[in-house]
Structure 1
Amino acid sequence: MGLGNFFKKQLSQVIEWNNQNTGLLVYKFPSSNDEIKNSSKLIVAPGQGVILVYEGKVADHIVGNGTYDIESDNHPFITTLLKLRTNFESEHKLRIYFYRTADNVNLGWGTAQAIKYMDPIYKIPVELGANGSFSFKISNPLFLFEGIIGSKDHYSVEEAKQLLQNRFPQAISSTLAKSMVSYQEIDSQLPVLSTNIKESLNTEAQNLGLALTDFKVNGTIFDEGTKARIAKIADITTDTFAAKEGGLTYVELEKLKALRDAARNEGGLAGAGLQLGVGMELGKTFNDAKEEQLNAENTDVVAKLKQLKLLLTEGIITQEEFDNKKKEWLDKF
């Protein structure tokens, strides 16, 4: 060791986290052999906190901004000269860890796996992906340091983000189930869902020494299977509404559609009946249902015309049949 370096090691230091990297959550002050000299000055700037580990134990935790005197057993010259047998290295190690107290804001998140829950209204399984943004900060520095970070010299915001984000899918799924929100209402309920999910996540975050200060769900997207189930429900809902407008039930409309399809098959109703395994009675039943709807005496002309129009729209009767029946009913009216 040169004489210049020897004397340089004996000087007190000014210890601070200059040009703080916003990508770091925890930063260990670099020091040769971790021998911080007695009477060194520690500067804690706004948005920072400090943890001092002396001889392997947490000795102090500083949260207030300002300048502090460092007291250790590493006295200049005396310590170094007495440590010839340890190659001029002191056993009085002082490690200084700065950490970020300010919020880490506007971090994007997205689910890597599908979130699954049962729709409370339509009783169908729903799978969706979600994305948004969140902010967090350190809420319990000592717990995070001792329980999560350990002896690492650096701990990044990205590492903490991944630690938190792994908890998102379960919290979102649980919140959707508890809130009883149908897939139709998710987009309109995003602000409320975001608040509830944040509360759920903060229970988990506290166990990591962290806290979410903001959480937003910006959008959702359904998987293909869910889209197919939703489309089927939409078709049934549309058909049910159309049937109601025509004075029919959904079941009656489906029967008449089956009649239409059977009539189009080669061999007519009899052939269709055989294909479906119910024989000629199927055609007779549908014919009876059709005639009952078109000729019921206790149905007024306007209601009959609505039903007739519905049958035409669904392709159950032809335009000619519609025109003839319409003229017959109007003549009676």
Structure 2
Amino acid sequence: MGLFSGQLANVVEWEQFRDDMIFWKWDNKEIKKGSKLIIRPGQDAIFMFNGKVEGVFKDEGSFDIESQIVPFLSTLKGFKFGFNSGMRAEVLFVNTKELTVKWGTKNAINIPAPNLPGGMPIKSFGTFCCKVADYQLLIDKVAGVKKQYTIDDVKERIMSMLDQTLMRWIVKEGKDIFNIQANSLEISNGIKTDLDMEMQKIGIAITSFAIASVSYPKEIQEMATKAASQSMINDMNKYTQMAMADSIANGSNGGSGSSMAADMASMQMGMMMGQQMANQMMGAGQQMNQQPQQPVQTQQPVNPQGGTNVAKFCPNCGTPNNGGCNFCPNCGTKLIL
């Protein structure tokens, strides 16, 4: 048995397939007579001889190498397995799936900003997708010297140039650095184009790139929160109406919407009353400032008979009008004012 143990057939397959691996190389030195090739979904198998691609097989399934594979190899199509001879070849298994990778700036990058000599430090996070695009370039640039290549290797290469690429596309054409999210689609497309151009050099395509979030320094975040609060207060009436409608709807679905609606109604009523009082006080103050002061008049005696103001002394003869009469008792002059 020991004499023939080295001649047992091989099973050429990617035994420990991983979704995060770009390729894996089978190199057991020799492929024996009667060997089988197994290709699973999401895999391609590339036969190589002396570093040269002999054939690419994409159909999934189990294949007899001697009868189904060798006849399609470039320089090995006439190879005949003998009793003691095996085929010296390597089989590169390639993951054909599109892989999604999370990325994030390790350190804050300084984006040029007006009145900030050192720039605005920001951090950003998102995802990108990639897949193998050119087998020959992948073999020439990477697989020729590596047994395997993972998505972490791709990510390391991407991150080495991402900061500069991100900065360039943010500041390009005067983008608003305080509202990067509004321009994230255009920025992402530009970054994707640049990264894809670079990664195509090793046979990998960047199929998409997305910016999920951008974070600013704490001081900038606080200013943005304050501005948003002021904007909300300016339209608080609409805000409370919407909140009441939402809470009532939640209540109708079995929630605690009734108490929520009552709380919101009380809050709205209090705000409206406070606003009304403020308006009244402001109006009263304006009226007081606008009305001219009237001269103080001396109170005149009132005639008990007619209730009309009369003079205290007769303007003709000077007789005192102690009884508040309408006419002077001495000379008969009219005393009504």
TM-score of the alignment, normalized to the shorter chain, above 0.5: yes
Q: Which has the higher contact order (CA 8 A, sep 6+)?
A: 1
Distance between the aligned counterparts of 2:161 and 2:24, measured in 1? 25
Tell me, what secondary structure is at the counterpart of 2:202? coil
Counterpart AA for 1:23? D
CA contact (8 A) 2:171 2:177 kept: no
Which residue does the alignment assign to 1:300? Answer: none
1:234-253 equivalences in 2 (<5 Å): none
- Structure 2 SS opposite 1:171: helix
Secondary structure of the residue aligned to 1:75 is coil
Secondary structure, aligned partner of 2:46:
strand
- Give 2:83's aligned residue: 77
**Pairing of 1:179-190 with structure 2 (within 5 A):** 179-190=173-184
Let me know the Cα RMSD of the aligned residues. Answer: 3.4
> Gaps spanning 5+ residues in structure 2: where?
71-75, 231-285, 294-337
Alignment of 1:266-277 (within 5 A): none
**Taking structure 1 as reference, are residues 55 and 183 closer, same or farther at Cα in structure 2, changes over 3 Å only?**
closer
Q: Separation in 2 of the partners of 1:157 and 1:74?
A: 38
Counterparts of 1:81-96 in structure 2, within 5 Å, are: 93-96=88-91
Candidates 28, 38, 60, aligned match of 1:43? 38
Match of 1:13 among 10, 14, 17: 10
Identity %: 24
8 Å contact from structure 2 (residues 102, 126) kept in 1 = yes
SS of the aligned residue for 1:78 comes to: coil
Does residue 29 of the first structure (1) align with residue 37 of the second (2)? no
Partner in structure 1 of residue 296 of structure 2: none
SS of residue in 2 equivalent to 1:186: helix
Match of 1:169 in 2: 163
Shift of 1:39: 5.1
TM-score between both structures, scaled by the size of structure 2: 0.56
Q: Within 1, Cα distance between the matches of 2:143 and 2:27?
A: 17
* In structure 2, C-alpha distance between the alignment counterparts of 1:173 and 1:230, rounded to whole Å: 23
Q: CA deviation at 1:76?
A: 3.9
Residue correspondences, number: 223
Higher helix share: 1
Query: Shift in Å at residue 116 of structure 1?
Result: 3.1
C-alpha displacement of 1:147: 0.5
Which one-letter code corresponds to 2:22 in the other structure? L
Asked which structure has the greater CA Rg, the reply is 2
Counterpart secondary structure, 1:214: strand
Match of 2:279 in 1: none
CA contact (8 A) 2:170 2:177 kept: no
Residues 157/74 of structure 1: CA separation in 2 closer, same or farther (3 Å cut): farther
Which string of whole-angstrom CA distances, capped at 9 and with x for unpartnered residues, describes residues 262-313 of structure 1?
xxxxxxxxxxxxxxxxxxxxxxxxxxxxxxxxxxxxxxxxxxxxxxxxxxxx
Distance apart, 1:98 and its partner CA: 0.4
Distance 2:91 2:120 in 1: 50
CA distance in 2, matches of 1:327, 1:137: 76
Q: CA deviation at 1:102?
A: 0.6
State TM-score, norm by structure 1: 0.57
* Residue of structure 2 equivalent to 1:63: 58
